[in-house]
């Protein structure tokens, strides 16, 4: 009698369940064949020793033929089990690939939701999130941080004269240079057009911020090679420091923006927020 399959509580696809059921059935059939073959061997051995009646030998040979037929069925069933398992493996590999593709697409969408497609920098949404984190941390630990509003001077002239492809090349080059001027914990963001925001964490005084602003002004002004053409832009930077120049993201960005226009008008490169001006 075939043994009933024990339920393990595991769930699987219908094809896998079928293959496992067939495998268990083949196992039971092989065990039965082994028992019957042992009986045949016992009879034939007895014939050699005791010269059993011809009828017993004939029955043993018939049983042997039956066992041979059963073994052939087991081989065929086993081939079918292997085919079903191969199909299941193929189906699972396809499912894993779809899951990997979906995860990669989700990761890509998350990246695009928080990064500028032209430069790869953080976009305004990510910058807003970072500055809110900075506000919470700085308030809790009584630490200062700075917001830099950066605008490229006369960038529109490059787009008009050389096209948007050249403008994008300039933006990408400037983005790389900006990131090289700040630390890993700082955030550089492109918020649109030729405007950037930079969040400098845990600054000690104006001198620290001025050092970084000077580096940005200096590196931004370096030549941007474009084939045989050499392009050049300069940057104007406005600076607001928490909590001195504002205690909200809106106030800090607004004050850094107004300081940037003052720096641009005076040609100073960068300017700290001064409420009296």
Q: Which residues are catalytic?
A: 194
Distance CA 107, CA 105 (A): 5
Distance CA 255, CA 233 (A): 24
Q: Which residues contact 240 (CB under 8 A, 6 or more apart)?
A: 146, 147, 149, 246, 251, 252, 253, 255, 256, 259, 272, 273
From the CB of residue 245, how many other CB atoms can be counted at a distance below 10 Å? 21
C-beta of residue 174 within 8 angstroms of C-beta of residue 152:
yes
Distance CA 61, CA 228 (A): 94
Long-range interactions of 53-59: CB distance < 8 A, separation 24+: none
């Amino acid at each position: 009698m075939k043994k009933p399959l024990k339920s393990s509580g595991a769930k699987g696809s219908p094809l896998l369940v079928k293959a496992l059921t067939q495998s268990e059935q083949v196992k039971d059939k092989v065990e039965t064949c082994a028992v019957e073959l042992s009986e045949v061997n016992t009879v034939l051995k007895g014939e050699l020793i005791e010269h059993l009646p011809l009828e017993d030998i004939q029955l043993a040979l018939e049983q042997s033929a039956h066992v041979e037929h059963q073994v052939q069925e087991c081989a065929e069933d086993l081939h079918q089990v292997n085919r079903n398992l191969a199909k299941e493996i193929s189906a699972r590999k396809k499912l894993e690939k779809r899951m990997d593709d979906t995860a990669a697409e989700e990761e890509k969408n998350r990246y695009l939701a928080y990064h500028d497609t032209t430069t790869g920098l953080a976009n305004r949404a990510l910058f807003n999130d970072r500055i809110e984190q900075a506000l919470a941390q700085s308030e809790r630990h009584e630490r200062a941080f700075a917001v830099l509003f950066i605008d490229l001077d006369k960038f529109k002239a490059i787009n008009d004269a050389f096209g948007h492809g050249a403008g994008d090349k300039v933006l990408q080059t400037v983005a790389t240079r900006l990131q090289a001027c700040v630390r890993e914990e700082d955030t550089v963001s492109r918020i649109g057009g030729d405007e950037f925001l930079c969040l400098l964490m845990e600054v000690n005084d104006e001198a620290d911020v001025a050092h970084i602003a000077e580096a940005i002004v200096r590196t931004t002004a370096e030549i941007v090679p474009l084939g045989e053409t050499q392009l050049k832009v300069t940057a104007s930077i406005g600076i607001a420091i928490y909590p001195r120049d504002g205690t909200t993201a809106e106030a800090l960005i607004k004050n850094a923006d107004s300081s940037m226009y003052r720096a641009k008008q005076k040609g100073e490169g960068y300017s700290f927020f001064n409420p009296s001006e």
